[in-house]
Amino acid sequence: MERDKEKNREKRRELGLLLLPNFFTALSIFFAVIALSKVYNGDYLEAFGWLLGSGIADGLDGRVARLTGTTSKFGEEFDSLADVVAFGVIPAYFYFEGIGQDLGRLGVAFTAIFIIFGAIRLARFNISVGNSDPNYFIGLPIPASGILLSGYVVLYQIYNFGNEFLVTFILLFLSFLMVSNIRFPSFKKIKVNRIFFVRILIGVVVLTLFLYVAPVIGVVTLLSLYVIGGIARTGWVLYRYWRVIVRRRKKGGRENGAELPQNRGKGGN
């Protein structure tokens, strides 16, 4: 009897652990829908706060699943569908309500492009899991892209940053980055020693103060630096690759040049 009770408790515990990461995924969708309602009412600043909450919940679901050993195919698919809603549809709605609807059919097209490219990004990620370097994402992750686009819309609406054409360009650029082969750090496997931990702690304190003083500007700045860093790293890798090719060609040219006099001599005979 006691053994059966213990088995039932163990099953309930396992079920609870299995549901925990999916709870955070559902919470991400819920926060995103609240953000949508706030955008509809014209409260862009509060909407951005709820979208950030959605991003935090989205970041927790995978980590909780790995910590509890409850990763599953269902959880992966549920997370991807949640990301399309929270960081594809909702940020696109930010753009459409704030800018796109004034551009007519072009605004509708730009809004659709962001959602479609975000869905492609997630589909490509799902089929590459386990086959790519876990330290990097191939293409800009949709949560970063969606939060960054929403942030620029908020800056435009509240702080008069730029104009509708600049924000539209940012939307198209972020859409391209999502389906590109540019690699961005995943921060999944960071080795933390004592010195590095102190630096992280100092950075977190400074970051918290920065976000407290200027939350939207702070988030947009950090994510923009993340994007620029990924592009710069790819540019540096391509530059080094180009230098290797140039050196090989020069080396090959010198070797061919050294053989030319011998060939001429044979031809003269």
Domain membership flag for residue 37: yes
* Cα–Cα nearest to 153, from 209, 110, 205: 110
Lowest mean pLDDT across 1-5, 32-36, 150-154: 1-5
Residue 4 scores a pLDDT above 70: no
Q: 59-66: long-range contacts (C-beta < 8 A, 24 or more apart)?
A: 59/143, 60/21, 60/24, 61/21, 61/22, 61/24, 61/25, 61/28, 62/21, 64/20, 64/21, 64/24, 65/20, 65/21
Name the pLDDT band for 15 (thresholds 50, 70, 90): low
CATH of the domain at 37: 1.20.120.1760
pLDDT tens track for 22-47: 899 999 999 999 999 999 999 999 99
Q: What is the pTM of this model?
A: 0.82
Domain membership flag for residue 166: yes
Range of the domain at 173: 2-192
Domain membership flag for residue 62: yes
Total domain count, the chain: 1
Domain membership flag for residue 208: no
Domain membership flag for residue 150: yes
Residue 221 scores a pLDDT above 80: yes
Domain membership flag for residue 245: no
More confident residue, 56 or 130: 56
Domain membership flag for residue 9: yes
| Tokens describing residue 21 | 């990461």
Domain membership flag for residue 185: yes
